[in-house]
Amino acid sequence: MELSDYDIREFISSLPKGITLVAVSKTKPVEEILRVYHAGHKIFGENRVQELSSKYEQLPKDIQWHQIGHLQSNKVKYIAPFVSMIHSIDSFKILRIVEQEAKKSDRVIDILLQVYIAEEESKFGLDRDEVLEILNSKEFYELQNIRLRGLMGIATYTENREQVRKEFRQLHEFFLKCKSEYFAGNSSFSELSMGMSGDYQIAIEEGATIIRLGSIIFGERNYL
Ligand SMILES: *Cc1c(COP(=O)(O)O)cnc(C)c1O
């Protein structure tokens, strides 16, 4: 199932005000992205650098591209010249590399720290202590070419709605704590990216400002 052009417009305008929709187009061809683009939507997300760069080359330049998947250090240079936000900063190491590559492109890149919130095993994401370590370090505040806009999280893939709600709620609480303790008076720390096709309503109820939706917009993917 995918949405018709009319339904895409309806769907986007039905989202609460203040919610940013990232249309996750991974595995989908440029023609399908163009359909959504022509329906008026200009923010797209990809999780692989190579696919992101190739789509950037082929598609209109007023699209805002978000990198939502784990980023390898040797790939940052390919997206630094154009990426509009990176959701998946999961180490200080990758943060430093984004800073360097952004500087080379003479840009300031918006980033989110990806916080590990799920119960299942996952390779990626910082735990809360690691986030605080970054926020407590002097070095972080010397980075000139990245701008920390907030946090991102992926809930456990489960039918248990209460579990998902609990994880989003805890991330929201942690977001508010970071905001008040480290960014009081700095309005740019304002984004909480959480919620996918299966759980975005819960995410919105629990304080998301950015939702990342793939299959609900583009239909099921054949592979992940
Ligand atoms: C694929 C992906 C999404 C979108 O998933 P859907 O369930 O299709 O909405 C969101 N966030 C991340 C990090 C993803 O990799």
Question: What distance in Å separates the CA atoms of residue 97 and residue 109, rounded to the nearest whole number?
Answer: 12
At 122, phi and psi to the nearest 5?
Answer: -145, 145
- The pTM assigned to this predicted structure is 0.96
* Other Cβ atoms within 10 Å of 221 Cβ, number: 13
Domain presence at residue 223 = no
The predicted-structure confidence for 110-136, as pLDDT tens digits, reads as follows 999 999 998 877 778 999 999 999 999
Looking at this protein, which amino acid is placed at residue 148?
L
From the CA of 24, how far away is ligand 1's center (Å)?
A: 6
Which residue of 47, 114, 124 sits with most ligand 1 atoms within 8 Å of its CB, as the best mutation to test the pocket? 47
The Cα–Cα gap between 163 and 147 comes to 31
CATH number, domain of 182, equals 3.20.20.10
Which residue is closest in CA terms to ligand 1's atom 12?
68
Q: Which domain holds residue 144?
A: 5-218
Residues within a 6 A CB radius of ligand 1: 24, 26, 47, 68-69, 154, 196-198, 212-216
Residue 224 domain-assigned (yes or no) = no
pLDDT in tens, 36-56: 999 999 999 999 999 999 999
Q: What percent of the chain has pLDDT over 90?
A: 88
Report how far residue 83's alpha carbon sits from residue 176's, in angstroms, rounded to the nearest whole number: 26
Q: Output the residue whose Cα is nearest ligand 1's atom 5.
A: 214
pLDDT at 7: 86
Ligand 1 atom at minimum distance from 47 CA:
15
* Cα–Cα distance, 152 to 193 (Å, whole number): 4
CB 112 within 8 A of CB 150: yes
- Please tell me the total count of domains within the chain: 1
Is 212 among the domain residues?
yes
Q: Calculate the alpha carbon distances from 69 to 48, 165, 204 in Å.
A: 6, 22, 21
pLDDT band at 223 (very low <50, low <70, confident <90, very high): low
Asked if residue 208 belongs to a domain, the reply is: yes
Probe ligand 1: pick from 88, 89, 196, max atoms within 8 Å of CB? Answer: 196
Tell me how far the alpha carbon of residue 81 lies from the centroid of ligand 1, in angstroms: 24
- The least confident of 125-134, 188-197, 212-221 is 212-221
Identify the residue whose C-alpha is closest to ligand 1 atom 7: 197
Q: Which of 205, 66, 194 is nearest to 125 (CA)?
A: 194
